[in-house]
Amino acid sequence: MSVPPDNSPEDAHNQSFWMPGNYHSTVKRTEDAFQACNDIVACFQERARVERQYAQQLSEWSSKWKPLVDTSPLYGSLLKAWQCFLSSADRLAALHSSVCRSLVSEDGVRVQTWQKESFHKKIFGGFKESQDFDTGFARARSPGAKRLKKLDKARSAYHKASRKEFAAMERETHAKGNPDVAIEKQRRIQRSVSLVSQEAEKVRGRYEKVLEEVTRYAPRYMEEMECIF
């Protein structure tokens, strides 16, 4: 005997990468990655400005105090300590200037070079890589999508047949032993239950056959999608 299917909410797995159309978010990562490169370079440049300003302020501070220290009445270890305090600022300024140059001329350029080599813009917008990925995913997805569509149709038919069978069995249960229902009508109800049960069994067989086909194809589909990914 079949049972009526639950009217459960949409399966959370429908959000999976493997479900039809869900690869589009993966393709979009190409555009996201291109923008991320721009953001990284902008971040480096802003940090470089901070480093340059700090180095400049340290140098200005040191230059302001050096003449005063050198002409001060202090002597001995106290004078030497004060002068070392200023010279350490000069070394720190040089270090931050070096960080500034590295962020712009080394790290930033390296990111921009990789970005230029990895992304190729199309004339009418978008990236060639995005188009290639989208085409590849769609080609790998197509056979699986057709099978899933066939499976959804078979599952819907099975659920419909199961509900029809369940309703017929409910009518049979209410009719049994009910003196208000004629014997002939009870027999018609029983024949109806037999017919809908046979039909439900046939539909279930077709559904299970399609499900088995989808299950067999799944490993191949996943392998092809993973290769493109």
What does the pLDDT look like over 22-60, one tens digit per residue? 888 889 988 899 999 999 999 999 999 999 999 999 999
Out of 49-58, 67-76, 186-195, least confident range: 186-195
pLDDT digits (tens, 9 = 90+) for 89-107: 999 999 999 999 999 999 9
Domain boundaries, the chain: 22-119, 142-229
Contacts of 129 (CB under 8 A, 6+ apart): 30, 118, 119, 120
Phi, psi for residue 4 in degrees, rounded to 5: -70, 135
Residue 121 phi/psi, 5-degree rounding, is: -75, 145
Angle between helix 76-102 and helix 24-70 axes, rounded to 10 deg: 150
Based on C-alpha coordinates, what's the Rg of the chain? 38
pLDDT confidence of residue 8: 44
Q: Tell me, what's the pLDDT at 192?
A: 81
In tens, the pLDDT along 166-176 reads 888 877 777 77
pTM over 0.85: no
C-alpha distances in Å from residue 155, one per residue of 42, 145, 165: 52, 15, 15
Q: Are the C-beta atoms of residues 127 and 179 closer than 8 Å to each other? A: no
Q: pLDDT-derived band of residue 5, with 50, 70 and 90 as boundaries? A: very low
What share of the chain has pLDDT > 90, as a percent? Answer: 49
Output the CA–CA distances (angstroms, integers) from residue 137 to 9, 16, 85, 145, 219, in the order listed. 28, 14, 63, 11, 15
pLDDT of residue 6: 47
Q: What is the pLDDT of residue 209?
A: 93
Q: Show the CA angle centred on residue 22, arms to residues 227 and 147, nearest 5°.
A: 80
pLDDT value at position 13? 55
CB 27 within 8 A of CB 137: yes
pLDDT, the chain, mean = 86
